[in-house]
Structure 1
Amino acid sequence: MIRMPLRTRPLAAALTALFLAACGGDGVESVNETPPSHSAGYTQIVAFGDSLTDAGTFNPTTADADPSNDSATGLMFTTKPGGTWAGYIAANLGLSLTPNQQVNFGIVGNGGKVIELGGTDYAEGGARLEVDAANGGVTTQTIPGIGTVPVQGATSRSIKTQIDDYLAEHGSAFNDGQLVLIQGGANDFFNFFSTTPPANLQTAAPAFIQATVTSLVTQIGRLKAAGASHIIYANLPELGYTPQFLALGPTVAGQATALSQSYNNAVAQQLGAMGVTVFDTAKLIRDVVAAPANYGFTNVQTPACNSYTTPGNPATLSALICSPSTLVAPKADLTYLFADGIHPTARAHAIWADQVTATLLADQVAAH
């Protein structure tokens, strides 16, 4: 857990609000006792997306004035130790996958900065499909005892910008040895739900779904046009199954699930015509919720973590700063499906990755 001195809590609260309003953990462990090590012919993994695919972009440990609790690397939006599905797939295939950037939270010029790491996981927590965070995630804040200063928070490069940056950094092309992983759209949904009055959700939904589908398919089309021949798109987990939406009651949870399904169906239809493989993450979550014991879970409705950035405020629960000391029960990271209100535990990510890996290896066998 990140301990923050009292004098810096206003700064910490402002910073954490940035990434909590948006939608890293070391080590990668597979659910398999002997995970597959066959590379399936791939030489590199490139990933784009949001917090579900983020390999450790954000480093909030630099946000306070206590250097003793700083981490040299970013954290992931899941339980620790552990990783996200993209990292587990890389491990399963014997490949590496590291963040493209690291964002150290804090006052610009005094710890807060963006560091270019050069890794091929471009995903960032909070990323929307085509809308970037304003001013690179830097906001002007008035900090008691410090004054008005620029503060670096989540950069949240959109998936469009992630792809722009990849193409600029790698000669505008992919090669046949690369496996490209991509997912996204959840933060666009969160923005839709937070900015649309409940009474207007049904009437506003069709236009939102159409625009969001177009945005995602356009970005995947850019990957294809740049030569990416092996793309796996992981669809949107149905939001109504998450603790965040379950807590809002069956009506809102039902609306969230219905919109998620409409989005997934429309995307699948268009990507199928493009020859892009769609991994059905939504079905995986449904299967786990329907029969938790089959996957080793005992809880599929409430979070495994109690890592609140503001003590006593449930709305500030964040898997980003979840650690073994902030679990709600011993081994909750192994027996719970969700780490916080929206993000899976690392064990759930590993199951997700193992299913994708099995699909990759089966496809390779079928091709030969």
Structure 2
Amino acid sequence: MRHTYFAAALLSAAVLAGCGGNDTPQFSNLVSFGDSLSDVGTYAVGSVKALGGGKYTVNDPSARNWIELMATRLNVAAPCPVQTGLDGDPAQGFSVPVTTFTNCTAYAQGGARVTNPVGPGNKALGGTNAILGQLTVPVATQIQNHLNTRGGTFAGNEIVFVMAGANDVFINLATVGAGGSPTAAVTAMGTAGAELGGYVKNLVLGKGARHVVVVNVPDVSKTPFALAQSADIQSLLSTMVTTFNAQLQQGLAGTDVLLVDAYTVGREQSANPSKYGLTNVTSPACDLTPAKNPLGSSLVCTKANLAAGATDTFLYADTVHPTPLGYKLIADLVTDEMRKRGWL
């Protein structure tokens, strides 16, 4: 009788193993869509590379953003950028031909918006934007480019990360600064949130992806950038972000997408920094003066050009982008939510 039970147990285990049972998914690779918060090196070329930069943080050989950290935690290959290049000023080393790597699946680019191809840093905006010349391929196109190179479908065994919307905030805020309507800016943010939800639902899930993580937009009104603005602008920023996030959530309702709430956790970090190992949540760690940082951006920030008194426990590298610790906190949040879902 014991032999019979033992044989039955082995058969049961084999059946469960064959159909996956309740095992944690084993992902084949990581695919990411988004903006600078997920960019793993699109612009690490030309003068940006020569200055020791390439990612939007305090650049260092050991520095990783949240996408790179998740790849390590999920035991998949380190993500590499699908495109590299710049379309800026040749005289300053910011004109580098675009190279596409079809074996790479990290599509996120600094300056990218949800749908509109002209984001912050794109030369089409003129002025100082034309100096750097970011590519700013929008998320809608990033997803389509992935489908175009993979037979129009996702494999189903990859992990897909999506995080975007902040650049729509900045562009729409700029229209208000140029005399545009705040109401129109908020409406545009709602449209962008709904669009992103639709892209994920129809072009990611609808094309075969089974494990999709979408991270909403953190509270931009708590960044050093926002804290330097008037109370009215801070309030407008908050409304723009919450409107985007609400429409994104509504667009993903009823799907199996794992929607991670970086907005709420980010507000908690600002209110209770010590709980997260943070000592400064209001000032940039990088010295952004022209003498130390020609772009005034974390894209070319390194440990060699930090602000006086800055430590690795600051939340922000520049006025909007996280330090390596800030990225770790995002990765920790995503890890916790994936674990609750049984995906890790």
Q: TM-score, normalised by structure 1?
A: 0.76
State the superposition RMSD in angstroms: 3.2
User: SS where residue 127 of structure 1 aligns?
Assistant: coil
* 2:293–2:301 Cα contact (<8 Å) kept: no
- CA distance, structure 1, for counterparts of residue 139 and residue 189 of structure 2: 17
Structure 1 residue 326 corresponds to structure 2 residue 305: yes
Q: Which residue of 1 aligns with 2:160?
A: 180
* 1:53–1:183 Cα contact (<8 Å) kept: yes
Alpha-carbon deviations, 1:8-62, whole Å to 9, x = none?
xxxxxxxxxxxxxxxxxxxxxxxxxxxxxx9842121100000011011102543
Given the alignment, which residue of 274, 277, 281 partners 1:293?
274
Q: CA deviation at 1:358?
A: 2.4
Number of residues of Structure 1 aligned to a counterpart in Structure 2: 312
105-114 or 263-272, which moves further after superposition? 105-114
Structure 1 residue 115 corresponds to structure 2 residue 95: no
Alpha-carbon deviations, 1:182-219, whole Å to 9, x = none?
01111111111101248754432453133212321222
Q: Which residue of 2 aligns with 1:220?
A: 200
Distance 1:208 1:258, change over 3 A: same
* 1:40–1:361 Cα contact (<8 Å) kept: no
* 2:46–2:94 Cα contact (<8 Å) kept: no
Distance 1:138 1:337, change over 3 A: closer
Q: Which residue of 2 aligns with 1:210?
A: 190
Superposed counterparts of 1:228-243, under 5 Å: 228-243=209-224
* 2:55–2:299 Cα contact (<8 Å) kept: yes
- CA distance, structure 2, for counterparts of residue 182 and residue 46 of structure 1: 9
- CA distance, structure 2, for counterparts of residue 313 and residue 358 of structure 1: 35
- CA distance, structure 2, for counterparts of residue 344 and residue 327 of structure 1: 14
For structure 1, the 5+ residue unaligned runs are 1-37, 142-149
Q: CA deviation at 1:155?
A: 1.0
Structure 1 residue 98 corresponds to structure 2 residue 77: no
User: SS where residue 273 of structure 1 aligns?
Assistant: coil
- CA distance, structure 2, for counterparts of residue 242 and residue 214 of structure 1: 24
Q: CA deviation at 1:111?
A: 6.4
* 1:42–1:177 Cα contact (<8 Å) kept: yes
Distance 1:322 1:213, change over 3 A: same
Q: Which residue of 1 aligns with 2:32?
A: 47
Q: Which amino acid aligns with 1:168?
A: N
Q: Which amino acid aligns with 1:102?
A: T
- CA distance, structure 2, for counterparts of residue 84 and residue 90 of structure 1: 10
For structure 2, the 5+ residue unaligned runs are 1-22
Alpha-carbon deviations, 1:111-137, whole Å to 9, x = none?
621122331100000001112249x96
- CA distance, structure 2, for counterparts of residue 327 and residue 339 of structure 1: 9
Q: Which amino acid aligns with 2:141?
A: T
Q: CA deviation at 1:313?
A: 9.2
- CA distance, structure 2, for counterparts of residue 338 and residue 59 of structure 1: 20
Q: Which amino acid aligns with 2:229?
A: L
Distance 1:249 1:197, change over 3 A: closer
Given the alignment, which residue of 117, 123, 127 partners 2:112?
127
Q: Which residue of 2 aligns with 1:145?
A: none
Q: Which amino acid aligns with 2:301?
A: C
Distance 1:232 1:110, change over 3 A: closer
User: SS where residue 300 of structure 1 aligns?
Assistant: strand
Structure index of larger Rg: 2
Q: Which residue of 1 aligns with 2:13?
A: none
Q: Which residue of 1 aligns with 2:56?
A: 77
Q: Which amino acid aligns with 1:101?
A: Q
Q: CA deviation at 1:173?
A: 1.0
Q: Which residue of 2 aligns with 1:337?
A: 315
Superposed counterparts of 1:311-322, under 5 Å: 311=291, 316-322=295-301
- CA distance, structure 2, for counterparts of residue 232 and residue 41 of structure 1: 15
Q: CA deviation at 1:349?
A: 0.6
Q: Which residue of 2 aligns with 1:57?
A: 42
Q: CA deviation at 1:227?
A: 0.7
Distance 1:164 1:336, change over 3 A: same
Q: Which residue of 2 aligns with 1:146?
A: none
- CA distance, structure 2, for counterparts of residue 343 and residue 50 of structure 1: 11
- CA distance, structure 2, for counterparts of residue 277 and residue 270 of structure 1: 13
Distance 1:297 1:329, change over 3 A: farther
User: SS where residue 342 of structure 2 aligns?
Assistant: helix
274-283 or 43-52, which moves further after superposition? 274-283
User: SS where residue 315 of structure 2 aligns?
Assistant: coil
User: SS where residue 255 of structure 1 aligns?
Assistant: helix
- CA distance, structure 2, for counterparts of residue 266 and residue 111 of structure 1: 37
* 1:62–1:112 Cα contact (<8 Å) kept: no
* 1:271–1:277 Cα contact (<8 Å) kept: no
* 1:284–1:352 Cα contact (<8 Å) kept: no
